[in-house]
Amino acid sequence: MEREVAGGCHCGAVRFEATIDTTLGLECNCSYCAKAAPLLAFTGGENFRQTAGEGAMTDYRFYKKVIAHLFCATCGISAFGRGETPDGQKMVAINLRCLDDLDMTGVHKGSFNGAAL
């Protein structure tokens, strides 16, 4: 079930609003996510709006360099990342742990095999 959410990094420099399904969070096994441990929900670029911190983020890319693993340059928290689907559509991966007031007991965890990409 999709709903409007807001969230951001720890220090508050980076903020966003989005429409996403908060009932399922995916744990990715790629080399980055295996260490950072985000719980991800994906949405189309049209369902996401960064409201603060456009210039406060650092972009980290590895392997094929197609996913922007973004994090706040001040506090180091990765609230979301940006990329494209295989058919070229803009995609945002939101870290559910960075949402304001999300009751994590209602989030089911699934797996995403990012290591295979």
Listed by start position, the domains of the chain span 2-100
> Tokens 């590895």 map to which residue?
62
**pTM for the predicted model, two decimal places:** 0.93
- pLDDT averages per 10-residue partition of the chain, 117 residues: 95 98 95 94 97 96 89 97 92 97 94 88
pLDDT of the residue at 117: 78
pLDDT of the residue at 88: 92
pLDDT of the residue at 94: 98
- CB distance 9 to 72 below 8 Å: yes
Q: How many whole angstroms separate alpha carbon 116 and alpha carbon 55? A: 32
pLDDT of the residue at 98: 98
Q: How many whole angstroms separate alpha carbon 23 and alpha carbon 74? A: 30
**67 — phi, psi (to 5°)?**
-110, 125
pLDDT of the residue at 64: 84
CATH assignment, 2-100: 2.170.150.70
Tell me the CA distances in angstroms from 67 to 62, 77, 89, 93, 104, one per residue in order: 8, 16, 13, 10, 26
